Amino acid sequence: MIAGTTLINLKGVSFGYPGGPPVLRNLDFSLNSGDRVGIIAPNGSGKTTLFHLIMGLLKPLSGRIEIFGRHVREESDFTEVRRRIGLLFQDADDQLFSPTVLEDVAFGPLNLGKPKDEAIAIARRTLAFLGLDGFEDRITFKLSGGEKRLVSLATVLAMEPEVLLLDEPGNGLDIRTRAALIEILRGLDLSYILISHELDFITATTDTVYTMQNGKIRTDQELSVHQHVHAHPIGSCPHEHCPPE
């Protein structure tokens, strides 16, 4: 992949659910290869909607979506998109529907027309890469929350995507799984957009963090998450600091 190629380009995209207020208003956004973008924004600001528009699960009311340099509109345009972009759902129970882990991970490759033994090989390799060796025959609904999240990621990575869209990947994970997931994401040679509420998760896994406001992504205002350490007398008592005049 050549660094700097535009992978996803949204121009003036608007969307609203029937009978509701507009969720996205005239949104512009682009993702270049090599980018690891974090989006942090309150609930209901349209982050998940944005992902669903990119994947073609929802259609914009107006605006233009270009993916890998092609203007995508029809359901058939998105077949290619879905092969090259992987979406990790917020709820792993939505993503894992096969009885066993191996079948679920092999589902994507099989849909891409891979022969059975190759699909199984890819599935095993992906599971091993995520440290999930020995999970092949586990029953998907009997996995723990953290295991479900990692297996979901495996089902997405098994399709060998070029871009990942991650919807709250760190949510509800225990500290160990969370740390493992951060390590995995940092080690991936992929561009991705990551939605999260958790400041530390997002700063550990992305290079640029934006916020959403009034149905737009504020690319003009890059957020920098930071903290200050300072000391003064009676600092252990609860207190507030005034912003500079």
Partner 1 sequence: MISEPFALGNSQMHRCDPRIRLVSATAYAFGVALFHEFPALAAALALSMVLLSFARLPLREVLKRLAVVNGLVVLLWLVIPFTFPGEALFHIGPLLASRPGIALAAQITLKSNAILIAFIALVATMPLATLGYALNQLRVPDKIVHLLLMTYRYVFVLEQEYQRLMRAVKIRGFQPATNLHTYRTYAYVVGMLFVRAAERAERVQQAMLCRGFKRKFYCLQEFKAGRGGLIFSLLMSAALLGLVVIELR
Which residues lie near partner 1 (CB under 8 A)?
52, 55, 57, 79, 82-83, 86-87, 89, 91, 93-95, 97-100, 102-103, 106-108, 110-112, 116, 119-120, 139-141, 155-156, 159
Q: Which is nearer to partner 1, 114 or 216 (CB)?
A: 114
Q: How far is the CB of 97 from partner 1 (least distance, A)?
A: 6
Distance CA 210, CA 190 (A): 19
Q: Closest separation between CB of residue 243 and partner 1, Å?
A: 41
**Smaller CB separation from partner 1, 94 or 220:** 94
Cβ atoms within 10 A of the Cβ of 124, count?
18
In the complex, least distance from residue 159 CB atom to partner 1, rounded to whole angstroms: 6
- The smaller minimum CB distance to partner 1, of residues 116 and 186, is found at 116
Beta carbon nearer to partner 1, 54 or 209: 54
Do β-strands 208-213 and 36-40 pair in parallel, antiparallel, or remain unpaired?
parallel
Amino acid at 10: L
Q: Can you point out the beta strands (E) in the chain?
A: 6-16, 22-32, 36-40, 62-67, 70-71, 85-88, 163-167, 191-195, 208-213, 216-217
Nearer to partner 1, 1 or 139 (CB): 139
Quote the tokens at residue 158.
């098994």
Identity of the residue, 106 or 130, whose beta carbon is nearer to partner 1 in the bound complex: 106
User: Chain-centre distance of CA 236, in angstroms?
Assistant: 39
How far, in Å, CA of 24 to CA of 152, rounded? 27
Give 139's strand partners. 100
Alpha-carbon distance 163 to 159, whole Å?
Answer: 11
Closest separation between CB of residue 63 and partner 1, Å?
Answer: 21
State in angstroms the smallest separation of the CB of 175 from partner 1: 24
**Residue 134: CB minimum distance to partner 1, A:** 17
Among residues 173, 178, 206, 170, the alpha carbon closest in space to that of 190 is found at 206
Show the CA angle centred on residue 220, arms to residues 36 and 229, nearest 5°: 70
